[in-house]
Amino acid sequence: MLDPDLFNIIRFTIAAIPFVPFLLKSLRDMQVVIRGVELGVWVTLAYLTQSIGLVTADAGRASFISALTVIIVPFLDGILGAEIPAYTWLGAFLSALGVGILELSGSPPCVGDLLTLVSAFCFGIHMLRTEHISRKMKKENFLALVGCQNVVPWNLKSRTPTELSSMMSSFPWLAILYTGIIATTFCLWAEIVAMRDVSATETAIIYGLEPVWGATFAWAIHGERWGITGLIGAIFIIAGSLMVQVLGSFLDIDVSEDSYQMNS
Protein backbone atom coordinates (compact mmCIF):
# COMPACT_ATOMS: atom_id res chain seq x y z
CA MET A 1 0.00 0.00 0.00
CA LEU A 2 1.29 3.47 -0.90
CA ASP A 3 2.23 5.72 2.02
CA PRO A 4 -0.30 8.59 2.34
CA ASP A 5 2.49 11.12 2.91
CA LEU A 6 4.30 10.10 -0.28
CA PHE A 7 1.01 10.22 -2.19
CA ASN A 8 0.48 13.81 -1.05
CA ILE A 9 4.06 14.79 -1.89
CA ILE A 10 3.65 13.68 -5.51
CA ARG A 11 0.12 15.08 -5.71
CA PHE A 12 1.16 18.55 -4.62
CA THR A 13 4.30 18.43 -6.72
CA ILE A 14 2.12 17.98 -9.80
CA ALA A 15 -0.29 20.66 -8.56
CA ALA A 16 2.57 23.11 -7.92
CA ILE A 17 4.05 22.94 -11.43
CA PRO A 18 1.71 25.62 -12.93
CA PHE A 19 2.58 27.95 -10.04
CA VAL A 20 6.38 27.73 -10.33
CA PRO A 21 6.80 31.18 -12.01
CA PHE A 22 4.67 32.81 -9.30
CA LEU A 23 6.50 30.86 -6.60
CA LEU A 24 9.87 32.16 -7.78
CA LYS A 25 8.47 35.68 -7.80
CA SER A 26 7.23 35.29 -4.22
CA LEU A 27 10.80 34.82 -2.96
CA ARG A 28 11.17 38.61 -3.22
CA ASP A 29 8.52 39.05 -0.52
CA MET A 30 9.12 36.98 2.62
CA GLN A 31 5.66 37.81 3.97
CA VAL A 32 4.12 35.91 1.06
CA VAL A 33 6.43 32.96 1.73
CA ILE A 34 5.72 32.92 5.48
CA ARG A 35 1.95 33.18 5.04
CA GLY A 36 1.99 30.62 2.25
CA VAL A 37 3.96 28.15 4.36
CA GLU A 38 1.55 28.68 7.26
CA LEU A 39 -1.43 27.91 5.06
CA GLY A 40 0.50 25.02 3.55
CA VAL A 41 1.01 23.47 6.99
CA TRP A 42 -2.72 23.48 7.71
CA VAL A 43 -3.75 22.16 4.30
CA THR A 44 -1.00 19.52 4.45
CA LEU A 45 -2.20 18.31 7.85
CA ALA A 46 -5.74 18.25 6.47
CA TYR A 47 -4.90 16.18 3.41
CA LEU A 48 -2.48 13.93 5.29
CA THR A 49 -4.95 13.01 8.05
CA GLN A 50 -7.61 12.56 5.37
CA SER A 51 -5.38 10.21 3.36
CA ILE A 52 -4.37 8.17 6.41
CA GLY A 53 -7.98 8.05 7.58
CA LEU A 54 -9.15 6.67 4.25
CA VAL A 55 -6.87 3.66 4.72
CA THR A 56 -9.34 2.27 7.28
CA ALA A 57 -12.48 4.44 6.91
CA ASP A 58 -15.22 3.93 4.34
CA ALA A 59 -14.93 6.55 1.59
CA GLY A 60 -18.65 7.31 1.67
CA ARG A 61 -18.74 7.81 5.42
CA ALA A 62 -15.55 9.89 5.33
CA SER A 63 -17.05 12.24 2.73
CA PHE A 64 -19.96 13.06 5.04
CA ILE A 65 -17.72 13.53 8.08
CA SER A 66 -15.61 15.92 5.99
CA ALA A 67 -18.76 17.97 5.36
CA LEU A 68 -18.60 19.01 9.03
CA THR A 69 -16.06 21.65 7.95
CA VAL A 70 -19.10 23.80 7.11
CA ILE A 71 -20.06 23.68 10.80
CA ILE A 72 -16.54 23.81 12.21
CA VAL A 73 -15.63 27.09 10.46
CA PRO A 74 -18.29 29.27 12.14
CA PHE A 75 -17.59 27.61 15.49
CA LEU A 76 -13.88 28.36 15.26
CA ASP A 77 -14.80 31.87 14.14
CA GLY A 78 -16.95 32.16 17.27
CA ILE A 79 -14.06 31.10 19.47
CA LEU A 80 -12.07 33.97 17.95
CA GLY A 81 -14.77 36.43 19.00
CA ALA A 82 -17.45 36.33 16.31
CA GLU A 83 -21.09 35.94 17.35
CA ILE A 84 -22.54 32.48 16.62
CA PRO A 85 -26.14 32.74 15.27
CA ALA A 86 -28.87 30.43 16.52
CA TYR A 87 -29.20 28.67 13.16
CA THR A 88 -25.53 27.68 13.38
CA TRP A 89 -26.14 25.94 16.70
CA LEU A 90 -29.12 24.11 15.21
CA GLY A 91 -27.13 23.17 12.11
CA ALA A 92 -24.28 21.91 14.30
CA PHE A 93 -26.69 19.81 16.35
CA LEU A 94 -28.22 18.24 13.23
CA SER A 95 -24.79 17.50 11.75
CA ALA A 96 -23.44 16.04 15.00
CA LEU A 97 -26.56 13.90 15.29
CA GLY A 98 -26.06 12.79 11.69
CA VAL A 99 -22.46 11.75 12.36
CA GLY A 100 -23.60 9.77 15.40
CA ILE A 101 -26.25 7.96 13.36
CA LEU A 102 -23.79 7.42 10.53
CA GLU A 103 -21.31 5.78 12.90
CA LEU A 104 -24.00 3.27 13.91
CA SER A 105 -24.47 2.11 10.33
CA GLY A 106 -22.36 -0.11 8.10
CA SER A 107 -18.89 -1.00 9.34
CA PRO A 108 -17.99 -0.27 12.99
CA PRO A 109 -16.34 3.06 13.93
CA CYS A 110 -12.57 3.14 13.42
CA VAL A 111 -9.52 5.35 13.84
CA GLY A 112 -9.95 6.47 10.24
CA ASP A 113 -13.23 8.17 11.15
CA LEU A 114 -11.47 10.13 13.91
CA LEU A 115 -8.66 11.15 11.56
CA THR A 116 -11.24 12.32 9.02
CA LEU A 117 -12.77 14.51 11.73
CA VAL A 118 -9.31 15.92 12.53
CA SER A 119 -8.94 16.61 8.81
CA ALA A 120 -12.20 18.58 8.83
CA PHE A 121 -10.88 20.74 11.69
CA CYS A 122 -7.62 21.38 9.82
CA PHE A 123 -9.53 22.37 6.69
CA GLY A 124 -11.63 24.71 8.84
CA ILE A 125 -8.57 26.41 10.32
CA HIS A 126 -7.08 26.68 6.83
CA MET A 127 -10.24 28.42 5.57
CA LEU A 128 -10.24 30.93 8.43
CA ARG A 129 -6.55 31.72 8.04
CA THR A 130 -6.96 32.00 4.26
CA GLU A 131 -9.75 34.53 4.73
CA HIS A 132 -7.69 36.54 7.22
CA ILE A 133 -4.51 36.48 5.12
CA SER A 134 -6.16 37.12 1.75
CA ARG A 135 -7.82 40.30 3.03
CA LYS A 136 -4.44 41.71 4.02
CA MET A 137 -2.58 40.68 0.87
CA LYS A 138 -2.51 42.13 -2.62
CA LYS A 139 -4.41 40.16 -5.27
CA GLU A 140 -1.33 39.82 -7.47
CA ASN A 141 0.27 37.71 -4.71
CA PHE A 142 -2.54 35.13 -4.55
CA LEU A 143 -1.05 32.71 -7.08
CA ALA A 144 2.32 32.90 -5.33
CA LEU A 145 0.51 32.16 -2.07
CA VAL A 146 -1.01 29.03 -3.59
CA GLY A 147 2.40 27.99 -4.91
CA CYS A 148 3.97 28.30 -1.44
CA GLN A 149 1.20 26.14 0.01
CA ASN A 150 1.88 23.40 -2.52
CA VAL A 151 5.58 23.30 -1.61
CA VAL A 152 5.04 22.40 2.07
CA PRO A 153 4.13 18.70 1.49
CA TRP A 154 7.52 18.15 -0.18
CA ASN A 155 9.08 18.22 3.30
CA LEU A 156 6.77 15.63 4.82
CA LYS A 157 9.17 12.74 4.57
CA SER A 158 12.61 12.53 3.01
CA ARG A 159 13.32 9.68 0.60
CA THR A 160 16.58 8.46 -0.86
CA PRO A 161 16.87 8.25 -4.67
CA THR A 162 17.00 4.45 -4.40
CA GLU A 163 13.74 4.33 -2.44
CA LEU A 164 12.01 6.67 -4.85
CA SER A 165 13.13 4.77 -7.95
CA SER A 166 11.89 1.47 -6.52
CA MET A 167 8.49 3.03 -5.79
CA MET A 168 7.99 4.59 -9.21
CA SER A 169 7.33 1.28 -10.96
CA SER A 170 4.38 0.45 -8.71
CA PHE A 171 3.10 4.01 -8.41
CA PRO A 172 -0.65 4.60 -9.03
CA TRP A 173 0.07 7.29 -11.61
CA LEU A 174 -3.51 7.56 -12.83
CA ALA A 175 -4.79 8.38 -9.34
CA ILE A 176 -1.87 10.74 -8.71
CA LEU A 177 -2.41 12.64 -11.96
CA TYR A 178 -6.15 12.89 -11.34
CA THR A 179 -5.80 14.25 -7.79
CA GLY A 180 -2.92 16.56 -8.72
CA ILE A 181 -4.29 18.01 -11.96
CA ILE A 182 -8.08 17.68 -11.64
CA ALA A 183 -8.84 17.57 -7.91
CA THR A 184 -6.27 20.22 -6.95
CA THR A 185 -5.15 22.52 -9.78
CA PHE A 186 -8.28 22.43 -11.97
CA CYS A 187 -10.71 22.63 -9.02
CA LEU A 188 -8.88 25.66 -7.64
CA TRP A 189 -9.06 27.40 -11.01
CA ALA A 190 -12.69 26.38 -11.64
CA GLU A 191 -13.80 27.65 -8.24
CA ILE A 192 -12.30 31.09 -8.82
CA VAL A 193 -13.85 31.39 -12.30
CA ALA A 194 -17.27 30.04 -11.29
CA MET A 195 -17.66 32.36 -8.29
CA ARG A 196 -17.83 35.32 -10.68
CA ASP A 197 -21.30 34.23 -11.83
CA VAL A 198 -22.65 31.83 -9.18
CA SER A 199 -24.45 33.26 -6.15
CA ALA A 200 -23.46 32.41 -2.59
CA THR A 201 -26.67 30.43 -2.09
CA GLU A 202 -26.08 28.32 -5.21
CA THR A 203 -22.48 27.78 -4.17
CA ALA A 204 -23.59 26.59 -0.72
CA ILE A 205 -25.96 24.06 -2.27
CA ILE A 206 -23.22 22.79 -4.60
CA TYR A 207 -20.76 22.38 -1.73
CA GLY A 208 -23.46 20.72 0.35
CA LEU A 209 -23.79 18.07 -2.36
CA GLU A 210 -20.07 17.20 -2.23
CA PRO A 211 -20.51 14.33 0.27
CA VAL A 212 -23.42 13.02 -1.80
CA TRP A 213 -21.10 12.66 -4.80
CA GLY A 214 -18.45 11.11 -2.56
CA ALA A 215 -20.91 8.50 -1.34
CA THR A 216 -22.17 7.93 -4.89
CA PHE A 217 -18.69 7.21 -6.25
CA ALA A 218 -17.93 5.02 -3.21
CA TRP A 219 -21.09 3.05 -4.02
CA ALA A 220 -20.25 2.75 -7.72
CA ILE A 221 -16.49 2.15 -7.52
CA HIS A 222 -15.88 0.48 -4.14
CA GLY A 223 -19.23 -1.24 -3.75
CA GLU A 224 -19.95 0.39 -0.38
CA ARG A 225 -23.53 -0.11 0.77
CA TRP A 226 -25.47 1.67 3.50
CA GLY A 227 -28.66 0.76 5.24
CA ILE A 228 -31.55 3.04 6.16
CA THR A 229 -29.69 4.19 9.28
CA GLY A 230 -26.71 5.40 7.26
CA LEU A 231 -28.94 7.27 4.81
CA ILE A 232 -30.77 9.01 7.68
CA GLY A 233 -27.44 10.08 9.19
CA ALA A 234 -26.26 11.41 5.83
CA ILE A 235 -29.48 13.42 5.42
CA PHE A 236 -29.01 15.00 8.86
CA ILE A 237 -25.44 16.03 8.00
CA ILE A 238 -26.49 17.59 4.69
CA ALA A 239 -29.43 19.36 6.35
CA GLY A 240 -27.19 20.81 9.06
CA SER A 241 -24.55 21.95 6.59
CA LEU A 242 -27.04 23.56 4.21
CA MET A 243 -28.85 25.24 7.10
CA VAL A 244 -25.67 27.06 8.10
CA GLN A 245 -24.68 27.99 4.55
CA VAL A 246 -28.04 28.84 2.98
CA LEU A 247 -29.55 30.72 5.93
CA GLY A 248 -26.27 32.56 6.38
CA SER A 249 -26.33 33.59 2.73
CA PHE A 250 -29.92 34.82 2.93
CA LEU A 251 -29.21 36.82 6.08
CA ASP A 252 -26.12 38.37 4.48
CA ILE A 253 -28.26 39.41 1.49
CA ASP A 254 -30.90 40.95 3.79
CA VAL A 255 -28.26 42.89 5.73
CA SER A 256 -26.71 44.15 2.49
CA GLU A 257 -30.10 45.29 1.16
CA ASP A 258 -30.94 47.07 4.44
CA SER A 259 -27.59 48.84 4.41
CA TYR A 260 -28.11 49.87 0.79
CA GLN A 261 -31.59 51.27 1.55
CA MET A 262 -30.27 53.22 4.53
CA ASN A 263 -27.52 54.75 2.42
CA SER A 264 -29.90 55.62 -0.43
The string of pLDDT tens digits covering residues 159-188 is 555 655 666 666 777 888 888 888 777 876
| Mean pLDDT for the stretch of residues 212-216 | 74
Burial 42-62 (b: 16+ CB within 10 A, else e): bbbbbbbbbbbbbeebbbbbb
Q: How far apart are CA 143 and CA 173, in angstroms?
A: 26
Residue 200 has pLDDT above 50, yes or no: no
Instruction: Using a cut of 0.85, tell me whether the model's pTM lies above it.
Output: no
Q: Which of 168, 180, 163, 153 is nearest to 14 (CA)?
A: 180
Which of 17-21, 43-47, 197-201 has the lowest average pLDDT? 197-201
| Mean pLDDT for the stretch of residues 8-18 | 75
For residue 162, being part of any structural domain is answered with no
| Mean pLDDT for the stretch of residues 54-75 | 78
Residue 14 has pLDDT above 50, yes or no: yes
Residue 36 has pLDDT above 50, yes or no: yes
Looking at residue 115, its pLDDT comes to: 92
Q: Which residues contact 22 (CB under 8 A, 6 or more apart)?
A: 143, 144, 146, 147
User: Where in 54-191 does DSSP place strands (E)?
Assistant: none
For residue 25, being part of any structural domain is answered with yes
The string of pLDDT tens digits covering residues 136-153 is 877 777 667 776 766 666
Domain that holds residue 201: 4-157+171-263
What's the total number of domains in the chain? 1
For residue 166, being part of any structural domain is answered with no
- The mean predicted confidence, pLDDT, of the chain is 74
For residue 149, being part of any structural domain is answered with yes
For residue 93, being part of any structural domain is answered with yes
For residue 165, being part of any structural domain is answered with no
For residue 163, being part of any structural domain is answered with no
